[in-house]
Amino acid sequence: MDVQKSALTNDLATIKSRVRELETLIMLNAKIAMQTDLDGLLQTIVDCARDLIGACMGGLVVVNPERSQPLQYFKVSGVSSSNQLPSGHGLFMVPYRTGQPVRVDRVRNTMPAIQPIGHPQLGPFLGVPLKARDKLLGSLFLAQSPASAPFSLEDQNLLSAFATQATIAIDNAQVRDNLEYMKILEERERISQGLHSSVAQVLFLLKLELERSRKTPEADYPELIDRLGFMQQLAEQGLNDIKTAIFSLSEPISTTPDLSRALHQMVDSFAGTSGIDSKLLIKGLVHNIPEQVGQLLTKVVGESLNNIQKHSQSPVALISIVAYSQWVMATVQDAGIGIPADIQTQIHMPSSRYGLRAMQSLTTHAGGTFTIFINDEGGTTVRVAIPYAAHP
């Protein structure tokens, strides 16, 4: 009878423990659901994971395999954070690479010399993949001080359950960010089209009318001719300002310093809205490209894609970015009807409708080169080469 009573007491204790774990999971899920921005969500997840298991330190990594530096986000809790991302070769990456939990009773530090300054001494370690359905985003991991008791299988199962919910929340936040990004792009395009179809055309017609009026014999109306000349200059300046505004509004804005991700978002959006089969190839040391150079690249690629959609009648668009140690080359190609033979002359004309003048001016100002030519097999290529030395 005592044995049965003891077993029943243990069962009740186990049930109560499971109920408390479920209640905690529900509470933590509600807490992470309240986060509206991705950065805050990631920090909340690692803080909650540490509290859930009772670990003295924790971390989270989100991986983007398309980047040269694949670690997109790295958050820690219980230890001081660093502005420098880890190399991505530590034990914390094993759950991401294998898709399986990792539980180690004692982490043996055999190479302390290569660890960052201030790296804590670790004892027990527990890491689980950030995985839900077919999504594998990164790793969520915890550690104790060297003298602490090891993590249990129950700890592993509980952290895995929490990581599944966290992965869904992260994925939803990324989708939400992308949707907001697309809405901003659509609004900017609407404003840009409005400026182009109304103000820019009115200023251009005014400029033409002023040019025609100035052909009146100067001897008849000398003062009027001077004033018309001044008005023509104002009209031309206004037209150039409007074109600059349209060009700026047309550029894809990046919500992240990750140039590769921003370019992929731009090309995917272009392909979806235009129906043009579009391919983006990125090669080399893209993570070394300075922010200002990256912004110029997105402007050139964005304006080139805009020209392909409006003027080329091309079924395809090929964009390539090749980054070298001190310079980068961006190429945008199509298979359309080509460009006018006098395109190099048109670039320098204020009435140029291709946005080429602004692209060439910005590239030259950055110390780079801008070329546009007809392909041997038809279609058009825009190519820019920008040195990093121009942006110290």
Give percent above pLDDT 70 in the chain.
64
Residues 265-289: pLDDT tens digits? 889 888 888 889 999 999 888 888 8
Same domain (yes/no): 145, 275: no
In which domain, by residue range, is 48 found?
Answer: 16-177
Mean pLDDT of all residues in 288-312: 88
Residues 51-64: pLDDT tens digits? 899 999 999 999 87
Among 48-57, 115-124, 319-328, 371-380, name the one with the lowest average pLDDT.
115-124
| Per-residue pLDDT at 162 exceeds 80 | yes
The answer as to whether 219 is a domain residue is: no
Higher pLDDT, 219 or 326: 326
| Per-residue pLDDT at 104 exceeds 70 | yes
Same domain (yes/no): 20, 169: yes
Same domain (yes/no): 171, 304: no
Mean pLDDT of all residues in 125-139: 89
**Which of 177, 212, 232 is the last residue before a domain boundary?**
177
Please give the tally of structural domains in the chain. 2
Same domain (yes/no): 357, 260: yes
Higher pLDDT, 195 or 44: 44
Same domain (yes/no): 173, 301: no
Report the mean per-residue pLDDT for the chain: 77
**Which of 177, 193, 214 is the last residue before a domain boundary?**
177
- Give the pair of three-digit tokens for residue 61: 């990594």
Query: What confidence score (pLDDT) does residue 392 get?
Result: 40
CATH code (residue 345):
3.30.565.10
| Per-residue pLDDT at 237 exceeds 70 | no
Sign of CA dihedral 13, 15, 16, 17: positive
**How far is residue 92 from each of residues 74, 150, 266, measured CA to CA in Å?**
11, 16, 32
| Per-residue pLDDT at 100 exceeds 90 | yes
Helix axis angle for 356-365 and 222-250, nearest 10°, is 80
User: What pLDDT band is residue 50 in, cutting at 50, 70 and 90?
Assistant: very high
| Per-residue pLDDT at 112 exceeds 80 | no
Same domain (yes/no): 163, 57: yes
**Which of 128, 153, 177 is the last residue before a domain boundary?**
177
The answer as to whether 156 is a domain residue is: yes
The answer as to whether 221 is a domain residue is: no
The answer as to whether 262 is a domain residue is: yes
| Per-residue pLDDT at 5 exceeds 80 | no
Query: What confidence score (pLDDT) does residue 32 get?
Result: 72
Q: Coil, strand, or helix at residue 61?
A: strand
Same domain (yes/no): 24, 166: yes
Query: What confidence score (pLDDT) does residue 33 get?
Result: 67
| Per-residue pLDDT at 113 exceeds 50 | no
Task: Report whether 286 contacts 330 (CB < 8 A).
Answer: no
Same domain (yes/no): 166, 309: no
Same domain (yes/no): 172, 269: no
Query: What confidence score (pLDDT) does residue 391 get?
Result: 39
Mean pLDDT of all residues in 125-147: 89
CATH code (residue 145):
3.30.450.40
The answer as to whether 135 is a domain residue is: yes
Mean pLDDT of all residues in 156-164: 92
The answer as to whether 208 is a domain residue is: no
Same domain (yes/no): 155, 300: no
Task: Report whether 139 contacts 129 (CB < 8 A).
Answer: yes
Same domain (yes/no): 24, 153: yes
Helix axis angle for 2-33 and 38-53, nearest 10°, is 170
The answer as to whether 238 is a domain residue is: no
Same domain (yes/no): 27, 168: yes
The answer as to whether 185 is a domain residue is: no
